[in-house]
Amino acid sequence: MLGKKIATTLLILGLLVGTVVYIGWYNLLREVDTYIESPAEHFKYGSIGTENDQGVPYWIWMVLPRLFPEYLPGTNGYTSLGFTWEPGQETPVGVSKKTIGFPRQGITCAVCHSATYRKAPEDNPIIVPAGPSVKFNSLGYVRFLQACAQDPRFTADYILPEIEYNHSLSAFEKLLYRFLIIPTTRKEMLEQGESFAWTNSRPNWGPGRIDPFNPVKFNMLAIPIDDTIGNSDMMSLWNQKQHQGFALHWDGLETSLTETVNTGALGDGATRKSINIEGLQRVEKYITELDPPQFPFAIDQAAAAKGEKVFDQHCATCHAFGGERTGTVIPQQEVGTDRHRLDMWTQEAADKYNAFAEGYDYDFDQLRKTDGYLSVSLDGLWLRAPYLHNGSVPSLQDLLKTPDARTPVFYRGYDVYDPDAVGFISQGAEAERVGFEYDTSVVENSNQGHVYGTNLPDKDKATLIEYLKTL
C-alpha cells in the first residue's frame, strides 16, 4: 500500500519536473529552424548562428531605439547607424530573426557585406548584396547597445509597456521577460560593451570600417590586449568563382574561402557550437556564383578600350585575372600603404585560431601571418569606394593622384554616387551632415603609398578610369 503511494507520488513529481523542464526548454531553448529559399534573401536575412550568444531578444531590440533615442547619432532609429531597412521586412538587411525559446535577432554577413548607392539624393538606396557597406556603423552600434544597458531605466517596467505596442505577450511570457530575459539581456549587453572598452583609446572606425580581428584576438582567442590598430574597410564578396587560388583578407591572412566564411561567422558572434555550417555553405555558394554589379551610368566605350591598354601595361600584373601577382601578397615596403592593419595580425593569433576549432567537424588550419597587402582583383571596383584597405582614398580619381595631392579630409558614409570621380560624394553639405569625418592624418588612416599610375599623363588617367568602370 505504502509502496504504491510512493510510486504514485514519484510519478506525479516526475511529471511535474518533466513539465517544468519542458516549459523551460520550450520557452528558453527550443530552436526553430527557418529556411529562406532565395539565396540572396538567405544572404541578407538567414541565420548564421549568431543569435544564441550575441543576439538580443528581438522584441527588446525592436523597442530600444524608441526608448533610448538619445544614444543614437540620428533620428531614424537603427537606420541612423547605417542599417538599411527594406519595406515589409521584420529586420534590416544583415539582421536575422530566429526563435530560440523566444524570438532573438542576430547579425549576418550582409550587415557589413551589402552595399547601397543612390544616383541622386532623392532616390531610394539600391541594395547590392555582397558589396561592401559604406554606411554600417558597427562601433556606433556596439556603443548604442552598451549605453542602453547602462541606463538605469533599462528595466521591465520601462521596456514591457513599449513592447506591448508591437506585440502582445502572454502573462507567462511577461513573467519570463521581467524576471529572466530582461535582466539577463542587460547583463550580457553590459559585458559585451565592456569587451570593446579597448576601442575607447583608439581612432573611431567610422561607418563602413571595423577593426576585424582585434575583437577576435582579445575575446575569442584570449590574447592579452595590445596597442595595435587594425581598422579596415569592408570588402566585396562577389565573384569568388574567379578568385580561385587567391589569398583572402586585406593582408592575405587566409588562403581558404570556406575557412574565411566560417571565421566570418565566429567573428560576428557565432560560437563553435552555434555556428550554422549549412547556412554558411549556402552563403559560400552564393558569393562564389554571384557576378559583380555593372556600373550604372554611361561609359565611353572608345575611351575605355584605350584605357584597357594603359591598364595592361601598368596594373594587370597585380590586378587582372590571370595576372602573375594577382591575389598574392605584395610586401608592404613595396606597395607602401599604411602598415597598422598588417601589424595588428600576429603569428600567435594565427596559431591560436588554427587550434581554435580542433575536434569540431569543421576546422581551421590555413590562417597565417604575412608581410604585406593583397593585390586584390578589381571586380565591381566602382562600388568599392573609398579605396585601399583602410578606406583612405575617396575615389579612383584621387587614387591616381600622387599621395601628397590626395584628399586629406573627406566624409564617408554618404551613399550618393559621383560617376566622374568614381566614388561616393565625399565633400559638401550633405556628405558632411550624413558622413563621418575621415582625417588621413589620424593614426592608421594614412593615404600614402600605392603610387602606381600616379605619373601617367592626364589623358591616360582619364581613359584608365573609364576602363576601370567596366570591371
Plot region of 297 (φ>0 → left; ψ -120 to 50 → alpha; else → beta): beta
C-alpha cell, 197: 572598452
Greatest Cα pair distance in the chain: 105
Taking CB under 6 A as the rule, which mask of x and - marks residues 292-331 in contact with ligand HEC?
----------------------xx-xxx-----x----x-
Q: Distance (Å, rounded) from C-alpha 263 to C-alpha 354?
A: 10
Q: Distance (Å, rounded) from C-alpha 314 to C-alpha 318?
A: 9
> What sign for the dihedral angle of Cα 87, 83, 208, 112?
negative
Smaller CB distance to ligand HEC: residue 317 or 402? 317
C-alpha cell, 269: 558572434
Q: Distance (Å, rounded) from C-alpha 105 to C-alpha 314?
A: 47
DSSP class of residue 412 equals: E
Smaller CB distance to ligand HEC: residue 164 or 334? 334
- According to CB under 6 A, which residues from 129 to 168 bind ligand HEC? 138
Q: Which amino acid is at 71?
A: Y
Q: Distance (Å, rounded) from C-alpha 251 to C-alpha 341?
A: 8
Taking CB under 6 A as the rule, which mask of x and - marks residues 43-82 in contact with ligand HEC?
-----x----------------------------------
Residue whose grid cell is 531597412: 85
State which of residues 129, 212, 380, 423 lies at the interface with ligand HEC (CB under 6 A).
Answer: 212
Tell me how far, at minimum, the Cβ of 449 lies from ligand HEC, in Å: 7
Q: Which amino acid is at 48?
A: I
**HSE-up (13 A, CA, CB side) for residue 460:** 15
- According to CB under 6 A, which residues from 264 to 293 bind ligand HEC? 264-265, 268, 280, 283
State which of residues 373, 410, 417, 436 lies at the interface with ligand HEC (CB under 6 A).
Answer: 373
186 makes contact with ligand HEC (CB under 6 A):
no
- According to CB under 6 A, which residues from 396 to 425 bind ligand HEC? 399
Go through the chain and tell me how many residues it has: 471
Using the contact rule CB under 6 A, the part of the chain among 8-16, 61-69, 218-226, 228-236 near ligand HEC is 228-236
C-alpha cell, 394: 575617396
Tell me how far, at minimum, the Cβ of 29 lies from ligand HEC, in Å: 23
State the residues that interact with ligand HEC by CB under 6 A. 48, 107, 109, 111-113, 138, 210, 212, 232, 234-235, 237, 248-250, 260-261, 264-265, 268, 280, 283, 314-315, 317-319, 325, 330, 335, 337, 341, 373, 375-376, 378, 381, 384, 387-389, 399, 450, 452-453
